[in-house]
Amino acid sequence: MRVMGKGPSRLTPHLCKQCQGYASQHLAGAEIELTMLFADVRGSTKLTEGMPPGEFSRLISRFFAVSADALSRHFAWVDRFVGDQAAGYFVPGFAGADHARRAIQAAQELLNETGHYPPADPWIPVGIGIHTGVAFVGSVGSAGQATDITALGDAANVAARLSSAAQTGEILISERTYSYSGLILDELETRSLELKGKSEPFKVFVLDSGSLVPPGPQNRITQIP
């Protein structure tokens, strides 16, 4: 099928290239509730100062590859990679009704696979934000020309801002995502954040690298049953 040009889409191997191509030709979409994950490389400016451009490019490419793999394993749509940020959209129609739980699992795997487990030092410093809410999911751009399939709206902005607020090795989980996930994580730290555009403090739950264990066949998904 690949030889015939009928391979998987770039968004996820669970969607065909033809479906994505059709969607990209028509400006349309829908407002749906989903879970969004944004992963940021922390201190990328400082990283670029200490290595040649080619080496930094290889480092970021490795990060993107690891991110895409972790997100796709949990049925996320892997959105565009911008600069030093990766985004995954856990759409219910693909990730299922437990999309919030899948997003948290994917975030833990991503941190594990970038080396954020004690006592090791990560090979690239990453912070992650996760939020569940209603967003417009669909194609944007100019009709009949190259477009992008993405998620837009306040909920997407919140997820992106949570990732910016996360420290190295942290996963900031919004209260809504935590509630939807059905998880009960004992003694989880809570934090109140001042987010741009929000009139009231925004409550998040914090999973940090201390909750992770070294990756291995027996614990592909860490800590979360």
Tens of pLDDT, residues 125-161: 999 999 999 999 887 776 666 567 788 999 999 999 9
Question: What sign does the CA torsion over 29, 31, 34, 36 have?
Answer: positive
Mean pLDDT of 54-83: 87
Residue 49: what pLDDT? 79
Residue 2 has pLDDT above 70, yes or no: no
Contacts of residue 20, Cβ cutoff 8 Å, sequence gap at least 6: 9, 10, 11, 149
pTM confidence score? 0.84
Mean pLDDT of 52-74: 91
For the record, the structure tokens of 124 come out as: 């690239």
Residue 158: what pLDDT? 95
Residue 33: what pLDDT? 97
Question: Over the stretch 189-209, which tens digit does the pLDDT of each residue have?
Answer: 899 999 988 888 999 999 987
- Name the DSSP letter for residue 76: -
Residue 165: what pLDDT? 95
Residue 73 has pLDDT above 50, yes or no: yes
Residue 27: what pLDDT? 74
Residue 81 has pLDDT above 50, yes or no: yes
Report DSSP letters for 47-62, one per residue: HHHTS-HHHHHHHHHH
Q: Out of 20-29, 50-59, 120-129, 194-203, pick the least confident.
A: 20-29
Q: Out of 16-20, 42-46, 91-95, pick the least confident.
A: 16-20
Residue 224 has pLDDT above 60, yes or no: no
Residue 3 has pLDDT above 60, yes or no: yes
Mean pLDDT of 206-217: 66
Please give the domain boundaries of the chain with CATH numbers for all domains.
Answer: 27-219 (3.30.70.1230)
Q: Percentage of residues in the chain with pLDDT exceeding 90?
A: 48
